[in-house]
Chain A
């Protein structure tokens, strides 16, 4: 009986190990698959002019030009939106964790709103942004895009920062307070420093989510063949550039759509790698 039991448990162990390996392969494999697809399909269109030139006349029917407008526009929209979401989410998280007791009703209600906001589809943020813009008389513009994407990023950023701030050991707070530090000093001199790598990670997740979103910018940022030189001008974005190029009947333009997707993926990759390097350098003092 004992022996059979062990055999059975061994079998169980093997089956579940295989299932876990399959799951891991699905995750890493799908990333590899996506990258391979966009490279293979986009390679013929991958020319330097794609990233150095604005679209020229007839670009969308296969003539000369590039998508510099969308690259620049996307970086501006997502950059501005990420900044906006940092400015709002960090104070919110510090407030519910440091100024209020972290399991208070207000704190839990705020966390609940993060969760609900997280689940709101991005097209709704677009529509919401559009309504607000109409009310204030703002046309589709860089500013509109920043606001809509900013709100889209907000719950992602806040939840990720909340996770790390909540994990700060209470001894660290006690040590800081016992030196006579105020809550504000404790927050930005100790808590932010202690959680810095988490904040960087949160920022990059939010940025990645923001730069890849198409639905929220359709009404709010508009589209333009030029790089906006003020907040009130419309801005092109990479997801929309991909969408427009993919929608044409011309194979060479569709190839450019894949090339654009590759550029977008590359941007996210570069940003995530550099921020990780920065985070490691800055957090050498972090208390384990």
Chain B
């Protein structure tokens, strides 16, 4: 690959049965920056995000052509080890989805399946990553209670800790703050600002203001097509496409 970034999308087409959800997308996602995928509902934002770690495979009746390179490896090649691809990419979903186990076990789940058995080490990992999302002080006295008892905001931070504990290089977020209250959203956004020093972050958002205040790089999709992408400042201040101008000014939504 000529490009040196982590994730390169090349001529990606995704079909759901007869409907084409993504049309010939070619894109490089910049490293160690926050990229926001924006666009109206149903434009293929989530489809693009899920193509990056092949969660798209789970959808019924899906067909994919083209390629997504992660660290130079086309993840849609038949022989690719999916778990290894997914381990590189943490995912935050729209609604936080804790696993049906305790807070501790949620964070320890990833490290455990990837081979860490030592109790002390697991304890350190859990503590470290819960501190990383400033959840530690809230939960340190009830690590062994059920994760589903936490508030939604806390659950989303737990999910972030859980995903960081696998030591990914990339974090994917599918509208990760849309189910949260403003306070909790802010915490997650602030966390992303810190994390981008070490991780490549890609989020889907339908909130234009969030993209503006958070993202370094913007990708605009419309009806499955890539309309425009570029550094955030340039994108918002000096959009090249007519559709982008209309979208930014709220003519289309």
Contacts and interface: CB of A to CB of B under 8 A. Distances in A.
Interface string B56-82: 001010000000000000000000001
A285 B147 CA distance: 7
A63 interface: no
A178 B102 contact: no
A189 interface: yes
B91 to A, nearest CB: 4
Contact of B93 (A104, A171, A190): A171
Contact of A178 (B86, B95, B101): B86
Contacts of A176: 99, 109
B162 interface: yes
B55 A178 contact: yes
A9 interface: no
Nearest to B155: A287
B49 to A, nearest CB: 11
Interface string A170-185: 1111111111111001
B120 interface: no
A285 B109 CA distance: 14
What interface size band does chain A fall in? 20 to 34
A287 B60 contact: no
Contacts of B166: 179-180
Nearest to B105: A285
Of B93, B98, B99, most buried by chain A (CB within 10 Å of CB) is B99
A284 interface: yes
Main secondary structure of the interface of A (DSSP, over half): helix
A103 interface: yes
Given A174-B58, A178-B55, A193 B100 contact: yes
B199 to A, nearest CB: 14
A100 to B, nearest CB: 11
Given A178-B86, A189-B109, A287 B99 contact: yes
Interface string B142-162: 000011100000000001001
B140 to A, nearest CB: 19
B228 to A, nearest CB: 28
B111 to A, nearest CB: 9
Contact of B101 (A102, A179, A285): A285
Given A181-B83, A181-B113, A169 B146 contact: no
Contacts of B98: 175, 287
Interface string B31-46: 0000000000000000
Contact of B146 (A104, A179, A190, A285): A285
B144 to A, nearest CB: 10
Given A101-B60, A285-B146, A174 B100 contact: no
Contact of B95 (A101, A171, A283): A171
Interface string B87-101: 101110111011111
Nearest to A196: B100
Interface of B: 53, 55, 58, 60, 82-84, 86-87, 89-91, 93-95, 97-102, 109-110, 113-114, 146-148, 159, 162-163, 166, 172
Interface of A: 101-104, 169-182, 185, 189-190, 193-194, 283-288
Given A173-B58, A178-B91, A285-B148, 14 more contacts: A101-B60, A102-B60, A171-B93, A171-B94, A171-B95, A172-B99, A178-B55, A178-B90, A178-B172, A180-B86, A181-B83, A190-B100, A287-B97, A287-B100
